[in-house]
Amino acid sequence: MKFTQLLAESAGAMLANPLRTLLTMLGIIIGIASVVLMLAVGDGIKAFIDKQLAVLGSNLVLVQADMRKSAGARLRTGTVQTLTLDDAEAVNRLPSVVGAAPMLTMFSQISVGNDNSNTQVQGTTPASFRIRNLRMAKGSPITEVDVASVARVAVLGKKTAEQLFYKADPIGQTIRIDNQSFQVTGVLDNEGQSFDAGDIGEIVIVPISTARVSLIRTASPRSVQYVVAQSKSAESVNDMVVDIKELLRDRHRIRADDEDDFRVVNFGEFAKSGAAIATGLSVALGFIGAISLVVGGIGIMNIMLVSVTERTREIGIRMAIGARPSDVLWQFLIEAVAICVVSGLIGIALSAALAAAVSSSGKFELVVGVKAILIATLFSGAVGVFFGFYPARRASKLQPVECLRYE
């Protein structure tokens, strides 16, 4: 028999009992929708991590003053400043480092007229813009001249600029940081998280020299809280981390058996850990969804066995007029596969609609990728073959004479 004829007969058998067919399909629909959604959750987490990494940079590390022992007790991170401008300059000279920028941070009251907000202020150098891939929406970043002249200039994050100036152009306007006047020279275009889990859109950047003199009090005139360093590539980050640790231990005269008085945070390691978690979560949730598919497949096998019993005389008549056992086997097998594939397509459409609804809320993005759709389609077909083969083979083994006698 031709494949198209077998397919038409399978469709006719499915439509002959529409309610039973629909109930049979429900298990596969739910199972496929579960698998696709679970894979979408994993892909969504990975996409979120990739987005954040694109902001932070996969080849960046953050060197931070760490807790030190004082009178037998540990002090809170940042209480004792162990990093200096000289350390930042030394790190910048390492062959494995493309660039390094020192930073000071604090939360300050930012005001324009009657509008004010408590915002993170970062004091840094012009190199920080290049290292952290900070782009300008308008205006210009701080310059070396600003640092050298201790200029009271500021670059605003996008959200801070909108909050303080709404639709007005902030360039050239004056803001007050802790009641001290600063002139706005630029607005950042970046969005997402900063290295300290803050929002880049809400920060204010000023020259590091101005921050030290006017805003942030430090333990010594040359101490800094952070040093951001960039390697040549993501693959060479680990080598850079080793070089930085060796350099700073030597500069700080730390003995071999003593702990570091600084911490090096590798953002690339966060990305790898996050990707591993996302993959593990996707596999685990996908496995849970696959259980629904197995249950649905068992339901299909049961219904196909019932169908074989109900159509015993039909099978006998077909064989009596010349149908081969292989024709009967293919007829029932194609029917099982068709039920699963149609159910899979409905499940994919349902999962895509649910994913779009979740993503439209803006709280989390579910990514239904081509890979998930292909996996779901192939898996639904495989379920049809696996659970439909036994009923189909049983039908093909029936004897025509016994079938014709069946009541």
- Span 222-233, pLDDT tens digits: 788 889 998 887
Give this prediction's pTM: 0.62
Task: Provide mean pLDDT across the span 26-41.
Answer: 81
In sequence order, the 6+-apart residues with CB closer than 8 A to the CB of 101 are 88, 124, 125, 127, 128, 131, 132, 227, 228
Does the pLDDT of residue 155 top 90, yes or no? yes
Rounded CA gap, 189 and 134, in Å? 7
Does the pLDDT of residue 34 top 50, yes or no? yes
Which of 147 and 16 is assigned the larger pLDDT? 147
| CB-based burial, 108-119: b 16+ in 10 Å, e otherwise | bebebeeeeeeb
In this structure, are strands 115-124 and 204-207 parallel, antiparallel, or unpaired? parallel
Rounded CA gap, 122 and 143, in Å? 15
Question: What does the H/E/C string look like for 205-244?
Answer: EEEHHHHHHHHCCCCCCCEECEEEEEECCHHHHHHHHHHH
> What pLDDT, on the 0 to 100 scale, is given for residue 3?
60
Burial of 176 (0-12, 13-18, 19+ CB in 10 A): middle
Pick the range with the lowest mean pLDDT from 86-90, 117-121, 377-381. 377-381
Residue with tokens 């097998």: 333
Q: Given CA atoms 372, 374, 378, 380 in this order, what sign does their dihedral have? A: positive
At 293, is the pLDDT very low, low, confident or very high (cuts 50, 70, 90)?
confident
Residues 189-214: tens digit of each pLDDT: 877 666 665 678 888 999 999 888 88
In the three-class reduction of DSSP (H, G, I as helix; E, B as strand; rest coil), residue 167 is classed as coil
> What pLDDT, on the 0 to 100 scale, is given for residue 197?
56
Rounded CA gap, 237 and 385, in Å? 49
Does the pLDDT of residue 79 top 50, yes or no? no
At 279, is the pLDDT very low, low, confident or very high (cuts 50, 70, 90)?
confident
Closest CA to 396 of 325, 331, 346: 325
The Cα diameter of the chain in Å comes to 105
At 218, is the pLDDT very low, low, confident or very high (cuts 50, 70, 90)?
low
Residues 345-392: tens digit of each pLDDT: 888 888 888 888 877 776 677 777 777 778 777 877 788 788 878 888
> What pLDDT, on the 0 to 100 scale, is given for residue 153?
94
Percent of the chain with pLDDT over 90: 11
Residues 331-348: tens digit of each pLDDT: 778 888 888 888 888 888
